[in-house]
Structure 1
């Protein structure tokens, strides 16, 4: 007697372009299906982002699917994002396969490995479908990039493999939403068009009743139902791509409002580390690319980087380095996180060429430490204390950062900014980070450093901003509240039962 193998039904959220709201729609569906009592998991075959995170097993995956796993109320697993591309140069990326570094590949080399990557992605989806009721799949960029579709493993080809109906997501806020939808469908062949079950229009501003004629036109022109029109809402769900900060324009005067500046380096990673700062009433946050006078800012932050040496050279070439050094001499506060922490030292050594040509790069010289880049990559979820104040974060980095007098001996540090209590559920007595005696310059490898309200409060007090209070809910607690708010917003404006009917799986 043959035994029927369980296969969860799938729904695919694809887009008319990048940053049209695919991740938000997928996150909302994950929470809604979880609320309905279904065991649901997110899935994205291939993610291209330097905004990654760590699973409980200490493996690396894209932050967007970690967020969606949280919305689904389950632990993240690398099967949810089997292929992660972390851009290193304009033409190449580090390939992370099932949570572990595979190799650096140029675009051409990557396409030659697509068969292997396809098999890996399909295997991951099969495993998810075997243990869940529903899998919410997310696409990448536009699903109608005609020059890439033959080699695509994340959009329509993967939806076809899963026999998943497709929700086409479009963004009305950027303009041209009718052309987005009709043009996307026009680029697809008949079989691909038939996979599109319906459309969701995202980020509508104004009186939604005035768009009824627009909805009717789209449905008549395409023959596809519009499942809903989502009004624009300022949700606080972490974004997947740095396009959100690339489009940001600073509107805060640091002379009038206490403001923190984050240097937007070319290879910035894990920019969501600073989301909690936006939740502090009375605090401004600027992501800034071009050097400027820093005197009015309460602190300068050097974020994580996918290419520390390249970004260090950029800091020197653009004048940022001298600006930051002068700022510190004049009493300013600087925080470096992960790659930014490495930049604060005197040297970054790359003897094996992990980031390009082997060699040494001068650091900013603000901390008496040097970094040696070397494999394997450290990937941990870590619990720590800062002067007795507890926090939780995650580490993703290559190499070790140690004081100059310990480099030759190879001995670990016997003190640091943070006391690490646990890594990947294993107790430890390690140290992380460093700070000057004054505490005005400090660095840490801990991503998610501000996710704990007491840690954020302590840092604000260090800046002389003790009057500012973080929200009571911070980190995962706050994100969970936002997932509920997003789900209710989605259910109000989108015909969820119609989406469910296209899946035909709820018994």
Structure 2
């Protein structure tokens, strides 16, 4: 049986650019005629998506599969951890909910998870020419390395040379690289084939002495220094919005406010909004005057009841209710949709202690949280405007279409034709809720929503959805090829 060559993008820390390196190389290898697949043994993120089979996996590997021009498959992310509390996560194994585990319980199951992850990689290696591995966080967390299944242990299993990625924009890049190596033993250091320095600002020529110092100090090559590049490739996790503050003056620029709840999920739903010229998009944590905003959005949530309690405790609830009473527009997506109703019931304690939580009371519906989880890729229409999105939720929301204005007509789920509806709207469309992630990825739907806000003069970006992302993958690949020695990386694979 043939085995694909492997290469691994590991990092000196979180959010240093591992996903960007992996995505760029997936597109470059595909351009060069290789059958390439992405792989991340274990992903911890509430940003997830759905495969064509209706199974759940991390968004980052779905993005990388798109860059590789292949359909995503759960073997590309066999273990997905979706944080529910500070010390526990829902474990999704090969696309299906396994169970909720505390950190200690999870570590006790590592042997089983390791076997699952290795089996998934073996299947990919049998089906593809190249497998692009991605690590998680820092590959040198010495207190975790004995139980690690995603960084150097997996690279060793795959016999994958490692590209160590460091972020110069946050400072201390020399310490990042040298310090990471110092935390590794000799055998682990030998897996590091070279370095990529990410997010450089300024004149690269002035950093030549820095490159020379790193290469002399470590005896390993710097494959390239990537200048900072603005792109619209979805982020892997919420590190990108960890400091949510209002950045736009809504009195000067039409602005949409996204409430940054503690358990926010699938915030990439709003990436396309940030690409609309003339529209501001702010993720905001602390309550503020909403009167000048064109819309308020409640995003998806991994813990709807907890986030509802947080909205009430912090003062968001009366702010949002008053905003609607005064004519404001509110949209809820997935967990945010559930929050807009009158009650969220959790009889089985899926999100903690069993019980009921009051919603915002802005839509005439109630939600019961219960298994199994709905995971679908869905085609839908909003008053004739077509859309393609995905649903990931454990709630069943009761909304009588005969009594309320159903929002979306669902035409297909997981490639099977259906006649159904999703979502609810009230107050002539000023309050809307839907389970559809990717709601804005259709240009006609985005245009219709902007017009509903009185922003008909604004236009969607030139390319939305997969078409727009595909252009971004090409731009990233060309940027990468310009500044990185791709031939040296290929040679490192042997």
Contact 2:404/2:426 (<8 A) preserved = no
The CA deviation string for residues 224-257 of structure 1, in whole angstroms up to 9 with x for no partner, is 1000000000011000011101135432100000
**Residue of 143, 161, 175 corresponding to 1:179:** 175
**Residue of 112, 115, 121 corresponding to 1:116:** 112
What is the root-mean-square deviation of aligned Cα atoms in Å? 1.1
Which ranges of structure 2 fall in alignment gaps of 5 or more residues? none
Pairwise mapping of residues 306-385 of structure 1 onto structure 2 (< 5 A)? Answer: 306-385=302-381
Do residues 290 (structure 1) and 286 (structure 2) align?
Answer: yes
**Residue of 125, 141, 149 corresponding to 1:153:** 149
Cα shift at 1:273 = 0.1
Cα shift at 1:414 = 9.1
Matched residue, 2:458: 468
**Residue of 79, 86, 90 corresponding to 1:90:** 86
Contact 1:402/1:412 (<8 A) preserved = no
User: Matched residues in 1 for 2:140 and 2:383: separation?
Assistant: 52
Matched residue, 2:411: 421
Contact 2:27/2:68 (<8 A) preserved = yes
Contact 1:413/1:431 (<8 A) preserved = no
User: Matched residues in 1 for 2:216 and 2:445: separation?
Assistant: 54
Cα shift at 1:382 = 0.2
Cα shift at 1:399 = 1.9
The CA deviation string for residues 23-70 of structure 1, in whole angstroms up to 9 with x for no partner, is 000000000000000000000000000000000000000000000000
Matched residue, 2:252: 256
Instruction: Tell me the SS of whatever aligns to 1:301.
Output: strand
Matched residue, 1:67: 63
User: Matched residues in 1 for 2:241 and 2:158: separation?
Assistant: 34
Contact 1:415/1:431 (<8 A) preserved = no
User: Matched residues in 1 for 2:404 and 2:424: separation?
Assistant: 11
The CA deviation string for residues 158-183 of structure 1, in whole angstroms up to 9 with x for no partner, is 00000000000000000000000000
Do residues 81 (structure 1) and 91 (structure 2) align?
Answer: no
**Residue of 431, 441, 447 corresponding to 2:437:** 447
Which ranges of structure 1 fall in alignment gaps of 5 or more residues? none
Do residues 458 (structure 1) and 448 (structure 2) align?
Answer: yes
1:502 to 1:302, Cα distance in 2 relative to 1, 3 A: same
Cα shift at 1:431 = 0.4
Matched residue, 1:493: 483
Contact 1:414/1:431 (<8 A) preserved = no
**Residue of 407, 417, 424 corresponding to 1:434:** 424
User: Matched residues in 1 for 2:317 and 2:109: separation?
Assistant: 40
The CA deviation string for residues 388-441 of structure 1, in whole angstroms up to 9 with x for no partner, is 1100100000021113xx6xxxx9999610000000000000000000041100
Return the TM-score normalized by structure 1. Answer: 0.96
Cα shift at 1:472 = 2.4
**Residue of 12, 15, 29 corresponding to 2:11:** 15
The CA deviation string for residues 255-310 of structure 1, in whole angstroms up to 9 with x for no partner, is 00000000000000000000000110000000000000000100000000000000
Aligned length: 494
Do residues 142 (structure 1) and 138 (structure 2) align?
Answer: yes
The CA deviation string for residues 182-216 of structure 1, in whole angstroms up to 9 with x for no partner, is 00000000000000000000000000000000000
Return the TM-score normalized by structure 2. Answer: 0.99
Matched residue, 2:469: 479
Do residues 271 (structure 1) and 267 (structure 2) align?
Answer: yes
Cα shift at 1:344 = 0.1
Deviates more, 1:240-249 or 1:353-362: 240-249
Stretches (4+) displaced over 2 A: 247-251, 411-415
